[in-house]
């Protein structure tokens, strides 16, 4: 089951699913990875990148973390 299908089954709104997929795609493109290559260390590194390098808002960061 892919992320979009899982979000739909879990009852998320289309807007929430779109936000989740946006963050997943950003992470994958940032590290040039496939979904199978995602790991906890890489996700933590990406979240740190959002805070330190991109200086994203608290709301934006919260969306990325909620994945």
Asked if 16 and 7 touch (Cβ cutoff 8 Å), the reply is yes
CATH architecture under which domain 3-65 falls: Orthogonal Bundle (1.10)
pLDDT tens across the length of the chain (67 residues): 566 666 565 677 888 878 888 888 888 888 787 778 778 888 888 889 999 999 999 988 888 887 6
Structure tokens at 19: 């936000």
Task: Kindly give, in sequence order, each residue whose CB lies less than 8 Å from that of residue 4, ignoring residues fewer than 6 positions away.
Answer: 17, 21
Asked if 47 and 65 touch (Cβ cutoff 8 Å), the reply is yes
Nearest-10 crossing angle of helices 40-52, 14-31: 100
- Cα angle value 13/16/17 (rounded, 5°): 85
- pTM for the predicted model, two decimal places: 0.62
Residue 53 has what pLDDT?
93
């Amino acid at each position: 089951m892919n992320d979009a299908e899982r979000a739909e089954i879990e009852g998320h709104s289309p807007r929430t699913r779109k936000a989740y997929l946006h963050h997943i795609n950003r992470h994958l493109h940032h590290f040039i990875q496939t979904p199978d290559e995602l790991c906890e260390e890489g996700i933590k590194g990406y979240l740190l990148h959002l805070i330190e390098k991109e200086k994203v808002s608290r709301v934006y960061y919260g969306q990325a973390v909620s994945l």
